[in-house]
A and B are shown apart, each in its own frame.
Chain A
Amino acid sequence: MNQKIILYLCLLAFGIAAPFLFPAFKLQISIMWILVVLSLTWDVQGGQMGYNTFGNIMFFGLGMYICSSFQIGLFFPLAEWTASGGEKTFVHTPTQFFQGFFIGLILAAIIPAIVAAIIGYGILGLRGHYFAICTLGLGIAAGEFAGGIELVGAGQGMTSPPWPKGIGDTELRSEFFYYICFLLMVFTFLFLRWAYSTRFGLVLNAIRDNEDKAEAMGINTMRYKITGWVVSAFFVGMAGGLMGNMIGYIEPVETAFAGRTFGVFMVLMAILGGKGTLWGPVIGAIAFHIFKEGFWTFFLGWQYVALGALIVVVVIFFPEGIMGWLREKYPERFGEIIDEEDRKAQVELK
């Protein structure tokens, strides 16, 4: 137990010190924490509950649009902002910026959660192929719709409010966003860690293992499924709002409802790390991000081909991921006791 606390403290210290240790990679590490949030929340559905969603990216984009719209709309007319290309005509004062940012961020978490609860009732009753393709459709439809709404800039997108002038330089800006991202990641991780240790986590696993049986045992599975989806939407929406502010520009298909990048990444990261485990998505996200940033440049234009190939290879050959592999290799570390004779007997049976 003590060992665990020391490990957590070390990681926390690393997270806090990282912007000073690697000042050149602040933005990259912030994006890494966002990716960790995405893969952790994907794992609530994909790993723990056994519902493979391709649609969580919808909440990401929704959060991004909602956060920036409120940040602007609270103080200035939104339509004129998007029409004029943003900061050229209107300037946020520091107070306005921070007020707008926090209100926007909270709404960016709450509104997607409500949306998730509403649509969840309709589509979480679907199973297997149907659920996967339905969520795939939802994610893309959301992007197409956002690309048709004039108020938020239609296909051209909109800018999110720039960092207010007069309070520090871009260094401070990236540090500010870094710590918000880090906080979000830590909070998501701790929340899910707690949630998996309660009855909620057990029910999610029961749904994954055999939903009909879980229902027959008297569990209202629909309620738990919706709760899980709402939790995911909450954190993903907040991550989206942050991401929109951090990169400063929102484009419907490339950044907000980015099914081709983040939407795929979150699935791949969770599987790479090991779905259905707490640490798997975290490890997967960090490994994937390092791989992406380190080696993407060598592929030069082939990176998305490499991404597709990586998905196929990981899914077919390592469906259990890094954590699953570790578990196979060092079962004692995971608290499993191996009965050697029993294992041999099983091998013979095969």
Chain B
Amino acid sequence: MDLLIFQIPILMVQASLDGILLGTLFALIAYGMALQWGVMNIINIAQGELVILGGYIAYFMYVAGIHPAFGVIVSPIIMYFIGWSLYKTIIFRVVDRDLFISILATFGISILTQQLMNFIFGSDVVVAQSNFGTTFLFNYMVTLPNAKIFAAAISIIFAVLLVLYMRRSKLGRAIRATAQNARAAKILGVDTESVYAATFGINAALCGVAGSLIAITFTLHPYVGLPYTVRSFMIVIVAGLGNLPGVALSGMGLGVFEEFSDYIFGTEFRIAAVFLLLVLILVYRRFKLSRKREYLK
């Protein structure tokens, strides 16, 4: 018992730190989803599959003998073109059509990608060893793998770069204009079609970065994509569209929640806890909104 009381604060620190590092990764994926949701009004259920696909790119670099950390640079470039061609083949047909079609079409893409990955890469759980070592804090009581710290740092760097890009560049301005009012943007000479394609490509590239970070910190498997979609969806609805600090914060909150639920309910209920949290958040949101509607009455 003494031991347990002694351990609790350490577990808390460990879980919180793990959660925050993990959360920055989630926030990066959610940022991509928020971008594409805001601009194209499509929820991409295949988001998680894009993440896993990006992870496999890093993994194959590792297999080929290149350090998987370079996947952070290679993977987004490849994923940008995958995302762009996905837009040009399928997604452009569902933009502006009813919601049902876009959800189901991306759901179909998600199954298609999952199964293709399963077929091509095999159904084994794989991991890319980064050999980054471990950092010990507080007299060896809290252990942090350096790979996780690296992942969090890279996520923050990419998020900041993207924010700057969206603020400063011409394409970033065009994307923001399209998000505000696609029709007006079109009239003022923005080629919305290529803006959409670029947005989807950027989203896929962000997924690629996140995926290659997941490859070195966690494990990859063709079927684990959906939880990432759900996590990013959850983060976006908690933070709201276009609220970047909110996305970062709620991403970290989710990470901490997951780490704590690991300790409390056990690792086997981790995915179930994530999905239940989603349901709870949505239900809470529904009751809050309906109360608001009643005030209006």
Interface residues of A (CB under 8 A from B): 46, 50, 52, 54, 122-123, 125-126, 128-130, 132-134, 136-138, 140-141, 144-145, 147-148, 260, 264, 267, 271, 301-302, 304-305, 307-312, 315-316, 319
Q: Is the Cβ of B272 less than 8 Å from the Cβ of A141?
A: yes
User: What residues of chain A lie closer than 8 Å to B107, measured between beta carbons?
Assistant: 54, 264, 267, 311
Interface residues of B (CB under 8 A from A): 43, 45, 90, 93-94, 99-101, 103-105, 107-116, 118-119, 226, 230, 233, 237, 266, 268-269, 271-272, 275-276, 278-279, 282-283, 285-287, 290
Minimum CB–CB distance for B171 against chain A, Å: 26
Q: Is the Cβ of B272 less than 8 Å from the Cβ of A315?
A: no
CA distance A145 to B233 in the complex (A): 21
CA distance A112 to B164 in the complex (A): 51
B117's nearest neighbour on chain A, judged by CB, is A305
Residue A128 contacts which of B90, B99, B109, B230 (CB distance < 8 angstroms)? B99
Label chain A's interface by main secondary structure.
helix
A121's nearest neighbour on chain B, judged by CB, is B283
Which 9 pairs across A and B sit closest by C-beta, in order of nearness?
A308-B112, A311-B108, A144-B272, A141-B275, A308-B111, A312-B108, A304-B115, A137-B275, A122-B283
Q: Is the Cβ of A134 less than 8 Å from the Cβ of B278?
A: yes
Q: Is the Cβ of B112 less than 8 Å from the Cβ of A312?
A: yes
CA distance A126 to B275 in the complex (A): 16
Q: How many A-B residue pairs have CB under 8 A?
A: 123
User: What residues of chain B lie closer than 8 Å to A134, measured between beta carbons?
Assistant: 278-279, 282-283
Q: Is the Cβ of B115 less than 8 Å from the Cβ of A144?
A: no
B289's nearest neighbour on chain A, judged by CB, is A125
Q: Is the Cβ of A267 less than 8 Å from the Cβ of B119?
A: no
Residue contacts A-B, CB under 8 angstroms, 15 given: A52-B100, A134-B282, A141-B271, A144-B268, A144-B269, A144-B275, A145-B269, A147-B268, A271-B104, A301-B119, A302-B115, A309-B108, A311-B104, A312-B90, A316-B105
B105's nearest neighbour on chain A, judged by CB, is A315
Residue B237 contacts which of A122, A130, A264 (CB distance < 8 angstroms)? A130
CA distance A126 to B284 in the complex (A): 10
Q: Is the Cβ of A309 less than 8 Å from the Cβ of B112?
A: yes
Minimum CB–CB distance for B230 against chain A, Å: 6
Minimum CB–CB distance for A214 against chain B, Å: 15
Q: Is the Cβ of B275 less than 8 Å from the Cβ of A123?
A: no
CA distance A103 to B168 in the complex (A): 68
Minimum CB–CB distance for A346 against chain B, Å: 20
Q: Is the Cβ of A307 less than 8 Å from the Cβ of B111?
A: yes
A46's nearest neighbour on chain B, judged by CB, is B100
Q: Is the Cβ of A316 less than 8 Å from the Cβ of B94?
A: yes
A131's nearest neighbour on chain B, judged by CB, is B282
Minimum CB–CB distance for A134 against chain B, Å: 5
User: What residues of chain B lie closer than 8 Å to A310, measured between beta carbons?
Assistant: 108
CA distance A134 to B214 in the complex (A): 25
Minimum CB–CB distance for A117 against chain B, Å: 15
Minimum CB–CB distance for A180 against chain B, Å: 31
Q: Is the Cβ of A267 less than 8 Å from the Cβ of B104?
A: yes
Minimum CB–CB distance for A101 against chain B, Å: 30
User: What residues of chain B lie closer than 8 Å to A315, measured between beta carbons?
Assistant: 101, 104-105, 108
Q: Is the Cβ of B101 less than 8 Å from the Cβ of A319?
A: yes
